[in-house]
Amino acid sequence: MSGPTRPAGAFRELVKPAFDLLAFTNWPLRAASLAGFAFIGLGLAGGLRRPLLAGSGWPAVVEVASVLAIAAGVQLLAFGVIGGHLARRRFPAMGQPAYAVRARTPEPEPERP
């Protein structure tokens, strides 16, 4: 005999409020931008150490890791910037209708015979 079973949608019901919370804030996008800056900085620091310390026996894997860190940082930074722009356009429109009726034209009266 197995243990107690959970309803099929129980996990979904637990996770849904977390995603609803993230839908109304910009901090994940700002965190992605900051992480992008950090990755770019780490990549540049790792990549510039070898030329500055000429003759040091750094393996080529450090250079490859530096290039990958810079590429990942640029992607995270771009994600944060583009996402922030879209969020700034989306948040003011939340809760507003897709269109607004400026004026109504009067309905014509039916013709009488």
User: Could you report the per-residue pLDDT of 89-105, keeping only the tens digit for each?
Assistant: 776 666 666 667 778 88
User: Could you report the per-residue pLDDT of 14-43, keeping only the tens digit for each?
Assistant: 777 776 666 667 788 888 899 999 999 998
Q: Domain-by-domain residue ranges, the chain? A: 36-92
Give every CB contact of residue 29 below 8 A, 6+ residues apart in sequence: 79, 80, 83, 84, 87
User: Which residue in the block uniquely carries the two structure tokens 């040091």?
Assistant: 56
User: Could you report the per-residue pLDDT of 63-93, keeping only the tens digit for each?
Assistant: 888 889 999 999 999 998 888 888 777 766 6
- Average pLDDT of the chain? 77
Q: Are 58 and 50 in contact (CB under 8 A)?
A: yes
Residue 7 in this model has a pLDDT that exceeds 80: no
Q: What residue type is assigned to position 53 of the chain?
A: L
